[in-house]
Structure 1
Amino acid sequence: MLSALGLDRDEECLYRHLVAATGSPSDLAGRAVLPLARTIEVLDCLVARGLAVAGPHGTFAAAPPAIALGALLRRQRDELHAAELALLALVDEHRRATSGRSAGDLVEVITDVGAVRHCFAQLQQGARHEVCSLIVPGLAVVPHKDNTAGDDGLRRGVHYRVIVDRESLAEPGLVQLAASSIAEGEEIRVVDRVPVKMIIVDGRTALLPLLSGQHTAPASVLVHASGLLDALIALFETLWTRAYPLWTDGATVGERGAGLEPFDTRIVALLLAGLTDQAIAGQLDTSLRTVQRRIHALMQRAGAETRIQLGWHAARNGWA
């Protein structure tokens, strides 16, 4: 109850015992069930705050609650009042600073496909620290292979974090592009479904579709620093924590101690990402029979009777 006045649990406990009766540190330690060293430390704090006084023969007594706690309560009220005044001043300052800003300063609508492509490239070219992307299936305005600005950003040392819709991994050539990007330092994770395609640059600007559900349409909205941008960043971070890391680079997995052949590491990564055997075969440019045979060999190596057990073993032993 006294925590609102700044007392921790031990301080409140000892003060209540002191109010009930004076005592020495050892006596109070026994009554409060605290170590002696901690009791002495807390008593020193209570004395420093005017809640306790040292008496004769090493004993301590409580300062009168009405005076001691009353002073703390008044101090808290004064600090809260000062904080309230500061808040009102900040609100007024913010209102003056933003009074001239319109919605157009925070959100821009771009409908021309050429302008959208230019904006998409320009955002990445101006990136200094990080680019966060949400990827949906069937990108049409700026296909993966045409995102040369992203390649340039990686080479400049910009950190890229990408969340891919699981369905996208079945698109021809996407896994090969992902492997190349991962080798350049890009982080890629997979989720069952990406709700909207989006790119966020340096936490200050976002680009996403203008209309709901129209991921392949060019009409887009550019969002600058605002509460809306904060919500978009929060959406990305939430998806990122839930997403599964996509490991398609054999060397990377090998460094984690897997000891598998690069071909097998890619099979495991795509299997754990949720692709079917047929989709894995298509992405790795091999036959369905070969993929199934390698998966069976991996299950034998892991001592797994089911694919779920293989997935558990792969995650536990750094196979993916």
Structure 2
Amino acid sequence: MLAAIGLDEWQEAAYRALVALGAADVADLAHRLGLPEPETLRALRWLESRGLAARSSACAGRWVAAPPGVALGALLTRQRHELERAEAAATRLVEEYRAEAAEPAVPDLVEVVTGAAAVEHRLDQLRLGAAEEVCALGTWSPLAVPVSARGVAYRVVVEREVLSLPGGAAALSAALGGEESVRVRVADRVPARLVVADRSTGMVPLTARGTEPVALVARASGLLESLTALFEAVWREALPLRLGMAGEVAEEAAAGPDATDLEILSLLLAGLTDASVAKQLDLGLRTVQRRVKGLMELAGVTTRLQLGWHAHERGWVTRA
């Protein structure tokens, strides 16, 4: 937990042990940590150089921990200052880069990334670096929303096949983190897998599954505009999904359907059968059918086709 301020595993373990014991000699500490004495002494000397430990003045050969509130506070302050300096340096580099790349050459507009680790790393950079919105088309369960990306809007379109997998709807909801800023739609097919961040950078795979991953990263260019337009076209035609905790039943509001009703309706409009909806939401088939009947009574209709039309008119489902 203290790696962020420069301590490795054994240095942190030694400091925690000293805090717990109050004081200890090298032999006792080495036995407690399961380390050779030379390694333990090396860790203690490192802690001493950082002001986290000191040799006891009351008992020769023993070591004591510096008060955590003072010692760790000083390290944290120093780390904050270093991060502030690094952030300032990064800002200057960005400004220099923009000044030099005001009219970028064609090769600078695209980047080919090869290898699974490199593609995954580049994808993480796109997601974590987004400030406003991430848009994605996927034939797989989509990207998990990173904690640090809260406040960034996500729009995701997945293929209906994802919902047909066992627990697909619940897995999709969990992958997207249950954030209100995340909207999901479903389409019969998506033409390609792609991710666009802040309309400034896009990423699309170039190889099929089963081969070494290769992806193309596009920056401000006609190619990026085409990728963005492709996403928007698929988004407009896709059906919205309401994803919550599977099987969770909310209080039914007098003015309309509850959250579970809306999930059922959304999955039905996405093309799932009653049995598939029941399985996805961990509900009984009769429960699903009873709720659909209740929705029809609430809408004052006699067929499911009418229910879909009335659901749209009443704002129960919407493309907005």
TM range (shorter): 0.5 to 0.7
Partner of 2:229 in structure 1? 234
Partner of 2:243 in structure 1? 248
Match of 1:169 among 146, 154, 163: 163
Partner of 1:5 in structure 2? none
Tell me, yes or no, if structure 1 residue 127 matches structure 2 residue 130: yes
TM-score relative to the length of structure 1: 0.58
Partner of 2:37 in structure 1? none
Structure with greater Cα Rg: 1
Where structure 2 has 5 or more consecutive residues not aligned to the other structure, the ranges are 1-100
Q: 1:168 corresponds to which letter in structure 2?
A: V
Q: Aligned-pair distance for 1:177?
A: 4.7
Q: CA, structure 1 residues 241+314, in 2 after alignment: closer, same or farther (shift >3 Å)?
A: same
Q: Is the 8 Å Cα contact of residues 152 and 181 (structure 2) preserved in structure 1? A: no
Q: 1:194 corresponds to which letter in structure 2?
A: V
Q: CA, structure 1 residues 117+255, in 2 after alignment: closer, same or farther (shift >3 Å)?
A: farther
Q: 1:196 corresponds to which letter in structure 2?
A: A
Partner of 1:101 in structure 2? 105
Where structure 1 has 5 or more consecutive residues not aligned to the other structure, the ranges are 1-95
Equivalent pairs counted in the alignment come to: 211
Matches within 5 A, 1:219-230: 219-230=214-225
Partner of 2:76 in structure 1? none
TM-score relative to the length of structure 2: 0.58
Q: Aligned-pair distance for 1:107?
A: 2.2
Matches within 5 A, 1:50-61: none
- Equivalents in 2 of 1:315, 1:216: separation in Å? 41
Matched residue SS, 2:146: helix
* % identical equivalent positions: 45
- Equivalents in 1 of 2:300, 2:106: separation in Å? 63
Matched residue SS, 1:206: strand
Q: Deviations over 1:254-298 (max 9, x none)?
A: 999952232212111111222222221121012333322322332
Partner of 2:50 in structure 1? none
Matched residue SS, 2:185: strand
Matches within 5 A, 1:20-169: 101-103=105-107, 105-136=108-139, 139=140, 144=142, 147-148=143-144, 150-155=145-150, 157-169=151-163
Q: Is the 8 Å Cα contact of residues 127 and 149 (structure 2) preserved in structure 1? A: no
- Equivalents in 2 of 1:195, 1:257: separation in Å? 41
Q: Is the 8 Å Cα contact of residues 133 and 197 (structure 2) preserved in structure 1? A: yes
Q: CA, structure 1 residues 258+314, in 2 after alignment: closer, same or farther (shift >3 Å)?
A: farther
Tell me, yes or no, if structure 1 residue 207 matches structure 2 residue 210: no
Q: Aligned-pair distance for 1:216?
A: 7.0
Matched residue SS, 2:272: coil
Q: CA, structure 1 residues 240+305, in 2 after alignment: closer, same or farther (shift >3 Å)?
A: same
Q: Aligned-pair distance for 1:246?
A: 1.8
Matched residue SS, 1:238: helix
Q: Deviations over 1:69-114 (max 9, x none)?
A: xxxxxxxxxxxxxxxxxxxxxxxxxxx975x7243x2222223111
Partner of 2:268 in structure 1? 271
